[in-house]
Chains A and B, each alone.
Chain A
Amino acid sequence: MSKTCLFVIGASHHKAPLEVRERLALASEEGLRADLAAAPGLREFAVLNTCNRVEFYGVGADAEAPACVQAAYCARQRFSAAEFERIRFRLTGRDAALHLFEVASGLDSQLLGENEIFGQVKEAYAAAQSFGSTGAVLNRVFQKAFQAAKHVRTHTGISAGRVSVANVAVELASNIFGSLAGARVLVLGTGEIGEGTARAFRSRGAADLAVAGRRIERAAEVASSLGADTMHFDERDSRLADYDIVVCSTAAPGAVLRTSAIAAAMRRRPARPLLLIDMAVPRDVEASAADLQNVFLYNLDDLARIAEQNRFAREAEVARCRAMLEQRADGLWRQLQAQLAASDPGAGAPGRGAEGQAATP
């Protein structure tokens, strides 16, 4: 029986509410890394520190290693050990590997199937590598986790579609224009939702943005934060033909874009489609504009419905993803058992599994 164990210990959004996660998040990992490097019996480790989780992956010489990590973390973070004990999870062996697979695949994320976590896991691994705290076991586990995550994202619909309203708007624009690098975006209104959507467009490559609001100072402020141009609100009709995507989120009591104005703009650019994203309530764009050729109009309800459909579609894929990941985790664990047993001082043949292979609460 091998004494060397692969483990993960940490806390995540599943049990820790936001106010607790704010206290759990590490402002800097450097000090803790030094503490962990000095922890007795901890052979390898990596720290995954995001807004939704703080997790420590490690290889210990014995079953005491996770407790050492927990103690070092609580001491460094000045977090109550008793409180951490209540919210933390601890997994060992195959279950620890499976957990990392699920995290990297976005299966364990608050926003199911999101992609950002994959990059965060890669960064965590790169940081651990550059610190020199990974070895043969963690290197293998992380590499396999990246392969597994890529596999499920490619072969299932776990990351298909967008699940936030802003990202659905960006996805719609991609469905019309392909690459957004050449698309021109006009944001009408200076509210939070419009600004957030504009940021989503910017993050997906839209380089040419303009902001128009009734209060030009506020529009200039928002435009400045987005790196966009400012436009006078009264120019919206005359310059509409210059834009491919219009995001509307004003607080106006009635329509600010009339069908007649949109039709006039389309006559000046008949070959190029126009996407109107109306996020305002009451609506900013006259509904009859949807009937115009090459005009695609989506309001807040449309976006929310698509986001909801995408979320359901992702949830329907969870069981299939989990089956794929379990199969890969089982395969990895069979290989790792021999590797872990060989790393025991005076090791003989690998046993039937390290102590505490199952999940421990």
Chain B
Amino acid sequence: MFADLSDRQWLWGAAGFYAAGLLLGMVSLLRGGRTSGAAIYGAILAGYLLQFIGLGLRGHASGGCPLGNRFEIFQFTAWSAITLYLVVGVTFRSSVLGFFTSCLGAALTVLSLSIPSWDAIRRTHIFGGNPWIELHAALAMFSYGVFGLLALTSALFLLRHYSLKSKRVGGWFSFLPSIMDLDHIEVRLLGTGMAILTAALAFGSVYWSRDTATVGHVKLAATVAVWAASAAAFALRAAGRLLARRFAWTCLALFAAALLSLEAVDASRHPGGAQASVRTPP
């Protein structure tokens, strides 16, 4: 029965589980109780597995990592963020992070699934059989997923900061982790994201140095700008120059910039060459 399901149907199933995690958290919070960490984690894990199958089918069909259009990029970014959550979420001891992660997962997957034009045409064999370029793209997207989780943590930090400054610490706010814990996690996530993006750019630069004409300037500038922004934020934080709220806002802006840079990356691909395009069935 499941063998007949298309990749999009698997991905809809994943989106459903992420939305279920979001719903579970909402219901718990509205009822005034603590969000059920295990239930939300289970929903996210189920969604993750379905998304893994859906993206796997896509990857198999397109002959590489499924990053052939905006739909696939959004799906892969969500999957990356959730991969990291599933690893660090257990030790995070905060069901609120699970709630926010399910929110991010549901938002990215439902949004990408709901806009058919994003997936009307997808490029296949975009890496031209070069595994290094594929690794570069996969690592870059994974780092964007890390920045997604960083953005969530930063949003939690800002909420906690607001609650303490405005002296509203009861109710929903009481479930938030402490300021210091969130700050430490932000720094680690930023460092991790930056390190992965650095590796991605290093792999990409080897290919680019051999054939500079194949990489568009806009793509190059956008990617390097995101990397430079993350490195600058990390350096300023380490030097004690970018702290607390400003640091959290910077991390949010970094994720927004990473998402915007995807537009430049996507637009830089030209349909000719080794790439081929296929029309995705509705």
Contact = CB atoms under 8 A, between A and B. Distances in A.
B250 to A, nearest CB: 14
B180 A309 contact: no
Interface residues of B, number: 23
Nearest to B171: A313
A157 interface: yes
A296 B245 CA distance: 13
B26 to A, nearest CB: 17
Interface stretch (A23-31, A58-66, A76-84, A173-181): A173-181
B6 to A, nearest CB: 41
A324 B62 CA distance: 55
B160 interface: yes
Interface in B137-196: 160, 163-165, 167, 169-171, 174, 176-181, 183
Given A174-B178, A176-B180, A178-B181, A293 B167 contact: no
Contacts of B180: 176-178, 272-273
A172 B169 contact: yes
Interface string B114-151: 00000000000000000000000000000000000000
A177 B165 CA distance: 15
Given A156-B33, A157-B33, A293-B243, A273 B179 contact: yes
Interface residues of A, number: 30
Nearest to A306: B169
A340 B137 CA distance: 71
Contact of B164 (A156, A175, A313): A175
Interface in B92-118: none
B53 interface: no
A338 B213 CA distance: 86
B130 to A, nearest CB: 43
Interface in A320-342: none
A298 interface: yes
Contacts of B169: 161, 171-172, 175, 306
Given A175-B169, A296-B164, A160 B178 contact: no
Contact of B178 (A178, A294, A316): A178
Contacts of A238: none
Contacts of A273: 179-180, 244
A270 B243 contact: yes
B243 A271 contact: yes
9 contacts: A174-B178, A175-B163, A175-B178, A270-B240, A271-B240, A290-B165, A294-B243, A306-B170, A317-B32
Interface of A: 154-157, 160-161, 171-172, 174-178, 270-273, 290, 293-294, 296, 298, 302, 305-306, 309-310, 313, 316-317
Shortest beta-carbon contacts, A-B, top 7? A178-B178, A178-B181, A176-B179, A270-B240, A309-B170, A177-B180, A294-B244
